Amino acid sequence: MSVSAVAADRSLCAPLPVLGRDVLVPLVTGGEVDYAALDYAASAPTLQRVWDDVAGYAPYYGSVHRGAGYLSQLSTDLFENSRATIAGFLGCRADDQVVFTRSTTDSLNLLAAALPRDTEVFVFETEHHASLLPWEQRADTVVTYLNAPRTPQQAVETLEKALAGRAAAGRGPALVCVTGASNVTGELWPVRELAAAAHAHGARIVLDAAQLAPHHPVDIATLDVDWVAFSGHKLYAPFGAGVLAGRADWLQAAEPYLAGGGASRKVSRRADGGVDVEWHTTAARHEAGSPNVIGAYSIASACQALTEAGFETLVAREQALIARLREGLAEVPEVKVLSLFGDDAPRVGVLSFVIEGWNSSHFAAALSAEYGIGVRDGLFCAHPLVRTLLGSEPQEPGECGAPEAAPGERSLNAIRVSFGAGTPEEHVERFVRAVKELVADGARWNYRTEDGRCVPDTSA
């Protein structure tokens, strides 16, 4: 049996096969190995099922909402059926809207643009930048940043205290933004309890489910959240699409996110030379331009695949992988796992850590070059959270990618390993083995910094 056939056979241990499961990558020390993709929190591999579905539709691709021809009608039906599939996946209420966007970031920026005037937004400093930064883009929005809690209960208490102060002052609309699962620690947040606290004080809540939806059921009605945002590329779907789903009233009352065809129902000239526009009140109001039908269909296909596989089965398997990973890292005293809520907190397959005596970028480079393992290093676009977890000063240098620091030097960054339904058990075992070997024996190759990245030195 060939090496690639062996790799493909091992991949069958994963419940949902993904593209790239049999890709071989070169090792700087010689030879090749099947690539261990352990950076799902950035972009998950595409499900084979999704790719096959998209390939099957591709010959029938046509313009959406634009043409009278058969392919246009078929594509329009596919697009709208995808919207319905995603609504079912999210447990949307009857009057909720599902708006297609480009990503979680785009979804939350859309919602930020749709906020009523003088809305006050409450957001924990622990959020990913996609859910931390959009709210200050408007001068009429007030943003209150909440300190990082150290327990789920403290998160609820912190929010309740902040909202009680707002209500006492008799201020206007309010929105709470919270992640479902941290992109740094993988820890689950008490979404339902936070939603209850928000509603008790007259506020609404949006859930950033980018890291939650690929690992756990997300039900808008059960969680009692007002909106959910997530990205297709983290849900095993390619093509740059995302979703904002939830209450329609603020979206219907807002100016269209983009002005153009598709968002408008009727455009006419006025006597004074200008134009009058009647905008759609459906999700189309914020979907101007030619829709990304393939992106929407890929998300719907991924939703169906996850549903059919059964989240109960997927969650149980992932928890076993998490337990094996934590058990292995606990055997290395130099490893410090980053956590807000402690070792017993429920989590998804995302874990970040630092290693005493190692620059995280150097360690990540060695994992890739010497073991064929892909992880993430840096601050993971969650700078305030990682700084808090590392106990750093706010001004200490650090960036999303690798900082300019030589191997072994102190630098503000960490290593993140993440996985999901397409991860073979062997990849987690290889990772644990590689961590132990690198910490015990050191890297087998020399590395240098090039364009901000730590890379193998091949100049010798």
CA distance 283 to 64: 14
In whole angstroms, give the CA distance from residue 389 to residue 384: 9
- Cβ count within 10 A of residue 59: 7
Mapped to the 3 state alphabet, what secondary structure does 81-124 carry?
HHHHHHHHHCCCCCCCEEEEECCHHHHHHHHHHHCCCCCEEEEE
Sign of torsion, CA 358 359 361 365?
A: negative
Which of these is catalytic: 13, 92, 177, 381? Answer: 381
Query: Is the CA virtual torsion 444, 379, 326, 27 positive or negative?
Result: negative
Q: How many CA atoms lie within 13 A of 278 on its CB side?
A: 4
In 183-292, which ranges are continuous DSSP H helix? 191-200, 220-223, 249-253
What are the backbone dihedrals phi and psi of residue 459, each rounded to the nearest 5 degrees, phi first? -75, -20
Name which of 215, 175, 171, 170 is nearest 418 in CA terms. 215
Given a contact cutoff of 8 angstroms between Cβ atoms, the answer to whether 295 and 100 are in contact is yes
User: Helix or strand or coil: residue 52?
Assistant: helix
* Chain centroid offset of residue 319 CA: 19
Backbone phi, then psi, for 104, in 5-degree steps? -60, -45
- The answer to whether residue 400 is catalytic is no
Helix or strand or coil: residue 311? helix
Q: Which active-site residues does the annotation give? A: 381
